[in-house]
Structure 1
């Protein structure tokens, strides 16, 4: 039976002891499993795994630029006969498919396993844990970790040069609206985090994605101008009918209103040509807002708001 040995550092935190080391990715993939309730490590992986995510990790590693410094956290099982040599500062263990239970990092481990490139992976190994300890530690690790907010990731994609063309367009329109005092969204956008009564970059991008085909031929400045006129018209119609335009800052409402933009813009173009100014939007939207209940704009469902607007928009047509 094969036995592996690696240099390691023994660390004590509270009542727990663990070892910190670097393990080759192919070795890591061959001696770990993900659930104590399954005797087949490979099948266990398949049931608990988001394969798409693991494949993305493998591609990232194989790209030659990938680096994942976060430690995979393992619990040594009795079968591996883990030993620590205090003199040489090494850990050794039997190389078995059931040597270590993965407490955190199953997608990374499987991604490393299917990647063609072999790398050394930072690993933390706990020893002597009971099943209760493993369960509690699993809960602690997965409940106390917090991912980076999506808003922040979008905000820094430009610096990382990770933006696709669509994201670049949305960012430029967002930034134009955010910095233009004449924009109806001036001081009402939040680029890097969620904020009360403000539209986040994630919500903004999702809203524009729904109408992207209608925008693709326009420049960011043109899109900013047209959408500003449209949103200003929506705001004016809400206020004219005694409502509070703060409803636009509700994420569900904002996405629904933006998804409805194509319907309103098509009506403007039919009547006035491609002259998308606030006055023309007001002319086509006034009959709609005279016939709807403003309270319906703050519903919980984007689809229901859109259906409600479309139903009344079609119903108000007259020869």
Structure 2
């Protein structure tokens, strides 16, 4: 059986020792495996592989610009016959498909396998762990680590030059509404994180995506004016209904009202020839806020709130 040897650093943290090294991706693919709950209910603890996610990682690496510096966490199995040479600071092991159990990084490992590129991968190897220790390490890694908030990722996409046309429009619209004191959402937006009683960039983008097709032919200034005027009318109606606008900043309520824009704008176009002013939006929305009940405008279902708005809106029509 083939033996491989790599320079490694021995690190001690608490009661555990592990080795830090760089391993070629093709070697990594030959000597690692995953134990899943489906395949091994008694001993397995990892989730099944998402092949689409692994394929995306492979594609990212194959662009030539991709870099994944995060270490793969492995647990050496007995069959690996792992040895550490303290004088030369190297680890040696048998290359066997069952040499190392993947504790963290299975999608990266499979992505490396699918990739046409061969790269060196940062690896951490624990030795002499029991199955209990492996399971606890898996839990600790997946419960103690926190991913980067989606709000922050959206906020920095411009700097990374990763935005598409739609995301660029939404970012510019969000930023203008966040910075313009005359905006109906001034002081109610949170660009890079979730915040109480504020609309995050993620919520704003999700809401705007539902009406993007009807706005896309307009200029950015026109979109800003039309959406601002509509939201001003909605905000005024919420204040008239509840005495404040707190419900408007709830994620599902905000998304429902933005999706409702199409129905209101259509009626403004019929009545006022497409003059989308605050006054005209308020005229169309006026009787709606006389009919709706405040508690039905909040909840966990955007669809339910939107259906309630649409039903209330239709019921006011008379010849």
> What TM-score bracket applies, with the shorter chain setting the length?
over 0.9
- Is 2:107 the partner of 1:107? yes
Instruction: Note the C-alpha offset of 1:272.
Output: 0.9
| 1:240 corresponding residue in structure 2 | 240
Tell whether the 8 Å contact from 2:74 to 2:103 is kept in structure 1 after alignment.
yes
Change (3 A) 1:181 1:37: closer
Of 164-173 and 218-227, the range deviating more from structure 2: 218-227
Equivalence map 1:71-220=2 (5 Å): 71-220=71-220
d(CA) in 2 for partners of 1:230 and 1:36? 51
d(CA) in 2 for partners of 1:221 and 1:23? 53
Q: Aligned to 1:122, what secondary structure does the other structure show?
A: strand
Aligned length in residues = 316
d(CA) in 2 for partners of 1:256 and 1:242? 17
Write out the 4+ residue segments of structure 1 that deviate beyond 4 Å after TM superposition.
Answer: 36-40
d(CA) in 2 for partners of 1:226 and 1:54? 42
Change (3 A) 1:240 1:70: same
| 1:295 corresponding residue in structure 2 | 295
Deviations 1:41-72 (A, max 9, x none): xxx9x971111111111011000000010100
d(CA) in 2 for partners of 1:251 and 1:47? 30
Instruction: Note the C-alpha offset of 1:182.
Output: 0.6
Deviations 1:19-58 (A, max 9, x none): 0000000110111111176889xxx9x9711111111110
d(CA) in 1 for partners of 2:185 and 2:34? 48
Of 85-94 and 235-244, the range deviating more from structure 2: 235-244
Q: Aligned to 1:241, what secondary structure does the other structure show?
A: helix
d(CA) in 2 for partners of 1:56 and 1:14? 36
Deviations 1:218-259 (A, max 9, x none): 222211111111111111122223442111011111011101
TM-score, length basis structure 1: 0.96
Q: Aligned to 2:217, what secondary structure does the other structure show?
A: coil
TM-score, length basis structure 2: 0.96
Instruction: Note the C-alpha offset of 1:144.
Output: 0.3
Deviations 1:185-235 (A, max 9, x none): 011111001111111100000000111101111222211111111111111
| 1:57 corresponding residue in structure 2 | 57
Gaps in structure 1 of 5+ consecutive residues = none
Tell whether the 8 Å contact from 1:243 to 1:294 is kept in structure 2 after alignment.
no
Change (3 A) 1:312 1:131: same
d(CA) in 2 for partners of 1:62 and 1:3? 28
Change (3 A) 1:38 1:222: closer
d(CA) in 1 for partners of 2:242 and 2:48? 52
Tell whether the 8 Å contact from 1:75 to 1:129 is kept in structure 2 after alignment.
yes
Gaps in structure 2 of 5+ consecutive residues = none
Q: Aligned to 1:305, what secondary structure does the other structure show?
A: helix
Change (3 A) 1:36 1:267: closer
| 1:9 corresponding residue in structure 2 | 9
Change (3 A) 1:233 1:39: closer
Of 218-227 and 207-216, the range deviating more from structure 2: 218-227
Of 277-286 and 235-244, the range deviating more from structure 2: 235-244
d(CA) in 1 for partners of 2:264 and 2:39? 59
